[in-house]
Amino acid sequence: MTNNGKTVEQVLFENTPEIERLAALCEKSNAIDKELYTEYDVKRGLRDVNGKGVLAGLTNISDVCAKKIVNGEEVPCEGNLYYRGYNIKDLVRGFLEAGHFGFEEVAYLLLFGELPNAKQLAEFHEMLVERRTLPPTFVRDVIMKAPSRDMMNSLSRSILNLYSYDDKADDTSIPNVLRQCLNLISQFPMLMVYGYHAYNYRMGDDLYIYAPEPDKSVAENILMMLREDRQYTDLEAKLLDMALVLHMDHGGGNNSTFTTHVVTSSGTDTYSTVAAAMASLKGPKHGGANIKVTQMFADMKKEVKDWDNDDEVRAYLEGLLNKERFDKKGLIYGMGHAIYSVSDPRADIFKSFVEKLAVEKGCQKEYNLYAKVEKMAPEIIAQKRKMYKGVNANVDFYSGLVYSMLGIPEQLYTPIFATARIVGWSAHRLEELKNVDKIIRPAYKPLAPHREYLKMEDRS
């Protein structure tokens, strides 16, 4: 008990009337008139009024294309994503036709700039397999102790703890950072799955910890380690592998990758940099968006009695926009993207395989509902909102459905995103270290007037 008779938990975790009063003071003192952003030509969110990002850097790693030049003007077009100059559609088609998993091939491309030949890919595979290990007692001493209910926080804590086991943790030379990045790329699936099992064990479930198998792909090992019976189908593994490839990178301006550039520019270590990127990705406006999609559909399936009835589905979607349904935020989650306005290539690739998985899992009715919403939502949004660009399904729209059909728990949706994006973060960290020796420091315009100091007795 504390001096005022409250428990420590009450003091630490309860909002008191005094906290509420001070919070109101915070809100008042921090409020800025939105018109001032226009008056001073400040790009809110580092984007202009049309949503185009402020040019803040150069990159060779990936390119997000959603516009083309027609008669000297930029117009929206079908979206395309390029990794090191290769169209993601061609990359996916290539490894599917070759009959192998794509994660390691595309990771090699993002890190080293060229597609590997058979010998290089085999050597890279062996390099990653050797690194699929954790320090002795790490699972017991770090992951099993005080497991978090939030897997992104659990992952971040594990990453920061790995710093303590690295004798060259602060060495930011390219060879050393590459070593650290390859370690993390290999370790992420274990940190994610073990963290999930540790928390469930604390909640009373059985504990099973399986070591990754050297002959299996990243996707296969994730499914094997996650499931008590270790079983999965080829289609399940191939679709999860594709999800990892599609989420590996998305330009240098997305929030978590820009965070990687910003933090790297300060000269800090790899573990702190990746933990910062994880904090960014955790946000529901970034990596947590696919969870919102599945939660929205769960609510929709309860509220809409006949999923085949267009009028019922339309009424629900209109209710979402009118802030009457689900979380009452006025959003149809999974629709729209900061860059793509005609189509998201990742969603297009996903959709072509999602239906196959839905048939295998007996989820055709659920898939048909998703397809119906994808078709109807842009029209309804256009009627209800003033838009400067079109709206289409983004990759989060279908990824949540894929993960749910794979039996992946919702708590791991964003960590799986991170397991893919660690490859892109690594590539961007190496690029920042190689090319820019200047800390990123944008300007903010101060608005508060300068004031004379008041003695205590003169303050109201």
* 396 a catalytic residue: yes
pLDDT in tens, 171-202: 999 999 999 999 999 999 999 999 999 999 99
Between 317 and 385, residue with greater pLDDT = 317
- Domain(s) labelled CATH 1.10.230.10 in the chain stretch across 289-405
Q: Is 235 exposed, middle or buried (0-12, 13-18, 19+ CB in 10 A)?
A: middle
Lowest mean pLDDT among 112-121, 157-166, 333-342, 427-436: 333-342
Catalytic residue among 249, 337, 344, 428: 337
pLDDT confidence of residue 3: 67
Beta-carbon contacts of 69 under 8 Å, excluding residues fewer than 6 positions away, are: 75
What token pair was written down for 50?
A: 């049309």
Mean pLDDT of 39-55: 87
Would the pLDDT of 51 be above 90?
Answer: no
pLDDT confidence of residue 389: 65
Is beta strand 73-83 parallel, antiparallel or unpaired with respect to 86-87? antiparallel
How confident is residue 13, by pLDDT bands cut at 50, 70 and 90? confident
Give this prediction's pTM.
0.92
What token pair was written down for 133?
A: 């290990």
What token pair was written down for 344?
A: 């998201």
60: amino acid identity, one letter: N
Query: CA–CA separation, 417 vs 189, rounded Å?
Result: 11
Average per-residue pLDDT for the chain: 93
Q: Which fold has domain 289-405?
A: Cytochrome p450-Terp; domain 2 (1.10.230)
Mean pLDDT of 41-67: 89
Lowest mean pLDDT among 40-44, 118-122, 231-235, 348-352: 348-352
Mean pLDDT of 333-361: 88
DSSP 426-450: HHHHHHHHHH--S---------SPP
Between 67 and 414, residue with greater pLDDT = 414
pLDDT confidence of residue 300: 97
Lowest mean pLDDT among 341-345, 406-410, 423-427: 341-345
- Domain(s) labelled CATH 1.10.580.10 in the chain stretch across 86-284+412-435
Would the pLDDT of 359 be above 80?
Answer: yes
* 197 a catalytic residue: no
Start-end of H helices in 44-117 = 88-98, 103-112
DSSP 163-190: GGG-TTTT--SHHHHHHHHHHHHHHHHH
pLDDT confidence of residue 2: 64
Q: Which fold has domain 86-284+412-435?
A: Citrate Synthase; domain 1 (1.10.580)
Q: Hey, is 31 helix, strand or coil?
A: coil
Mean pLDDT of 20-32: 92
Would the pLDDT of 53 be above 90?
Answer: no
Beta-carbon contacts of 222 under 8 Å, excluding residues fewer than 6 positions away, are: 189, 192, 193, 240, 416, 419
pLDDT confidence of residue 383: 87
Catalytic residue among 249, 269, 344, 396: 396
Query: CA–CA separation, 414 vs 3, rounded Å?
Result: 42
Mean pLDDT of 358-381: 94
Query: CA–CA separation, 111 vs 109, rounded Å?
Result: 6
Query: CA–CA separation, 336 vs 377, rounded Å?
Result: 10
pLDDT confidence of residue 1: 60
Would the pLDDT of 231 be above 70?
Answer: yes
Q: Hey, is 244 helix, strand or coil?
A: helix
Start-end of H helices in 283-412 = 289-303, 310-321, 345-361, 364-384, 395-405
Query: CA–CA separation, 105 vs 121, rounded Å?
Result: 6
